[in-house]
Structure 1
Amino acid sequence: MKEDIRNIQIKCIEILNIVDQICHKHNIQYSLCGGSVVGAHLYQGCLPWDDDVDLMMTRENYNKFLSVIKQELPKGFSVHNYQLSDTYWSLFTKIVNDNTTIVQNDGAVSGVFLDITVYDKIPDNYKRKEDIFLWKMSQVVSIGKIKGKSLKAIVRNMVLTLFFRDKSKYYKFFQKRVEKNGMCKKYHYSELFGAFCNTKPYDAEIFENYTQIMFEGKKYMIVKDYIKYLQTRYDRTDFREPKEKQVAPHYQYVNFEMPYKKYLQLHMGAGNE
């Protein structure tokens, strides 16, 4: 298990180096994110039990990154999100090593990946009720239909069938609305397009000042006040996890020699994500 985790981390760092080179080439700012910030702060590298690497960008940097990533990625790597993929409707971006296989705990199959999430400007005087509803709907659309015969499940699935069959269309509408509302003088940042609906406000200066930090033997970009970022994200000042939480969160199976599309063909009779 520990050997697998370390090998996953090494593959993730390989993707991180590719992204770092692309960002420097195109003057794109990024930062380590979430558990990767905690790892850099406590260990100068990945958390020993963590099985991925996470990055974050402001919308301006993120859009610039997406405009160049396809032509810049080397062979054997691919980008997946609702803007650039025909079959993978993630709200955020995954950069995938296509020559590996990882089966996540929820059964999702891909190559070993690096996640990049986007933080949007949100006006400080934003009318929140309507937009929180839209943010929550993005999660409903992302998860999709659920099994069950309860009234809640029936209504949910009916709404998805009637109004949200095209995930990409809804996400793009949501993105345009958020970007338009970000044209303001007083604002904060929020991670609206992440794995979970997160309306927590981050002070603007957190995402507008950057430095470098040692991570796995090399310096990478990070928000300058990363302690304030961590305090906001985790609502605490001690970022160490108890023993019972020091477990790999994502995977149940990994193969570093098999392309994930081949795994899908062999095990699921499918050739795409």
Structure 2
Amino acid sequence: MQYLEKNEIKTIQLGILDYIDEICKKNNISYFLSYGTMLGAVRHKGMIPWDDDIDISLYREDYERLLKAIEEDQHPIYQVLSYDTSSWYFHNFAAILDTSTVIEDNVKYKRHDTSLFIDVFPIDQFSDLSIIDKSYKYVALRQLAYIKKERAVHGDSKIKDFLRLCTWYPLRLVNPRYFFKKIDQLVKNSMTENPTYEGAVGVGKEKMKEVFPAGTFKELILTEFEGRMLPIPKNYDAFLTQMYGDYMTPPSKEMQEWYSHSIKAYRKIEK
């Protein structure tokens, strides 16, 4: 395999983004740059220099249409990774892969090799805020079901470790995908005609930080991103302020290093 430099990784990720943008335009699907990618577009007109991933979000209906359109396109390199397409992927959001690559990610814990990717997050609308706490309980159970035994034991207390293992052993019998399917079912059962809130449910660690008034992401504008004009919410300031506070002020050098995912990636070489 051929080691990829940081600028090569960026080029490949932007290639995935260009492909997604093409598919969305072809199928009249609305998406927008999200999380740190939205922040990068607003503050840097591109990727955050010390970050190395790209995130997009879509309302649930468009999210499902995008995944279906990519699967039907049958591209030789770009493929969907989700709990419906993989027996080992245990998240309730999808990723679009460049399968000509392999990555080693020293931040995210994985049992399987994967490829360079873009994360794709569904935005759901709802009125019952109790689904937020319920969804994060499923997230916690999923994490316990997936981790190895040594990670379930913290070493802070023999009694606490014993109780953790008492929970961990029976959870090992449950497929971790079960918990994220429960989250999706929870959200779909909470949908109403006139929702009060919207956000990505059970995908991050921020809980209520991820919840916004319904319609926050509805109206989109185009902004510059790595030489392209790509969509972000017109109300981007509300999202970025809620998520990051004073988002136009870059973090310290120490925090920049902490935020970096430090991905090592390789290009597969055909024999």
Give the alignment's TM-score, normalised by structure 1: 0.83
Residue 119 of structure 2 corresponds to 115
The correspondence of residues 181-260 of structure 1 with structure 2, limited to 5 A, is: 181-196=190-205, 198-200=207-209, 201-247=211-257, 249-258=260-269
Task: Name the aligned partner's letter for residue 117 of structure 2.
Answer: F
Residue 103 of structure 1 aligns with which residue?
104
- How far apart are the structure 2 equivalents of 1:100 and 1:7? 11
RMSD of equivalent CA atoms: 2.4
Partner residue, 1:265: none
Question: Partner letter of residue 197 of structure 2?
Answer: H
Matched-pair contact (CA < 8 Å) for 1:191–1:198: no
Mapped partners of 1:186, 1:252: distance in 2:
38
Q: For residues 89 and 59 of structure 2, what CA distance do their matches in structure 1 show?
A: 22
CA distance in 2, matches of 1:204, 1:73: 34
Using the aligned pairs only, state the percent identity. Answer: 24
The 3 A distance-change label for structure 1 pair 239 and 71 is farther
For residues 159 and 238 of structure 1, what CA distance do their matches in structure 2 show? 46
* CA deviation after TM superposition for structure 1 residue 222, in Å: 1.2
CA contact (8 A) 2:43 2:248 kept: no
Q: Go from structure 1 to structure 2 and tell me whether the alpha carbon gap of 1:231 and 1:87 turns closer, same or farther (over 3 Å shift).
A: same
Residue 137 of structure 1 corresponds to: 138
Q: Deviations over 1:162-182 (max 9, x none)?
A: 5xx123333223212211202
Distance change in 2, residues 1:192/1:131 (3 Å): closer
Report deviation, 1:238.
3.5
Q: TM-score, normalised by structure 2?
A: 0.83
| Aligned length, in residue pairs | 253
Q: Which consecutive residues of structure 2, in runs of 5 or more, have no partner in the other structure?
A: none
Deviations 1:185-233 (A, max 9, x none): 1411122142436333212232111111111111111111111110121
Q: Match of 1:180?
A: 189
Contact 2:92 2:181 in 1 (8 A): no
Aligned partner of residue 212 in structure 1, secondary structure:
strand
CA distance in 1, matches of 2:48, 2:77: 26
SS at match of 1:179: helix
- The Cα shift of 1:74 comes to 1.5
Label 1:222 to 1:131 Cα distance change in 2 as closer, same or farther (>3 A): closer
Shift in CA distance, 133/110, structure 1 to aligned 2, threshold 3 Å: same
Alpha-carbon distance change, 86 to 42 in structure 1, aligned in 2, over 3 angstroms: same
Partner Cα separation in structure 2 for residue 91 and residue 155 of structure 1: 26
Q: In 1, Cα distance between the equivalents of 2:134 and 2:202?
A: 14
Query: Kindly tell me: are residues 159 and 133 of structure 1, through their superposed partners in 2, closer, same or farther at Cα, counting changes over 3 Å?
Result: farther
CA shift digits 1:103-127 (9 cap, x unpaired): 001453321111111121120xx25
